[in-house]
Amino acid sequence: MSPNTILILSYILFIWLVVLHTFEEISCDVMGLELGHIKLTKNRYLLGASFISTLNLGTLALLVLGLPVGYYLALFTSAVLGVFQALVHTIGYIREVKKARGLGAGFFSSLPLAIAGVIVLIQLIQAIS
């Protein structure tokens, strides 16, 4: 398999883990979470999750087409949605005294998502270099 095919398959796995992570957050009832001035309502959460899914699928299409903008957009999505979110969920999980509710919601799926994000990030850096 070519490196580009492996990258595309890795990004598909990454998207699948993002969707799985979204389902875990929904099952942990993250839609009532309040963080300071931010109140995460059902509509806001679902709009945000829809935007992230659309962004990931659009990025996948750009990667399949081999357009350079797809590689740079994938760098952003894999770094922020893959790696950074794991830090946020881990801090929330520890702060909530190791409960998977509230700030720690989505902790268990965030670890494999972060690993996939790092793998995609490394593959993207190699492809761009």
Cβ burial, residue 2 (10 Å; 0-12/13-18/19+): exposed
Of the two residues 85 and 30, the one the predictor is more confident about is 85
Whole-number Å distance between alpha carbons of 79 and 102? 23
What pLDDT score does 43 carry? 87
Whole-number Å distance between alpha carbons of 31 and 23? 12
| Three-state helix/strand/coil letters over the chain | CCHHHHHHHHHHHHHHHHHHHHHHHHHCCHHHCEECCEECCHHHHHHHHHHHHHHHHHHHHHHHHCCHHHHHHHHHHHHHHHHHHHHHHHHHHHHCCCCCCHHHCCHHHHHHHHHHHHHHHHHHHHHHC
Does the pLDDT at position 88 exceed 60? Answer: yes
Does the pLDDT at position 57 exceed 90? Answer: yes
Average pLDDT, the chain: 86
pTM: 0.86
Whole-number Å distance between alpha carbons of 76 and 70? 10
Using one digit for the tens of pLDDT, what is the confidence trace for 1-52?
888 999 999 999 999 999 998 888 888 777 777 767 777 788 888 898 999 9
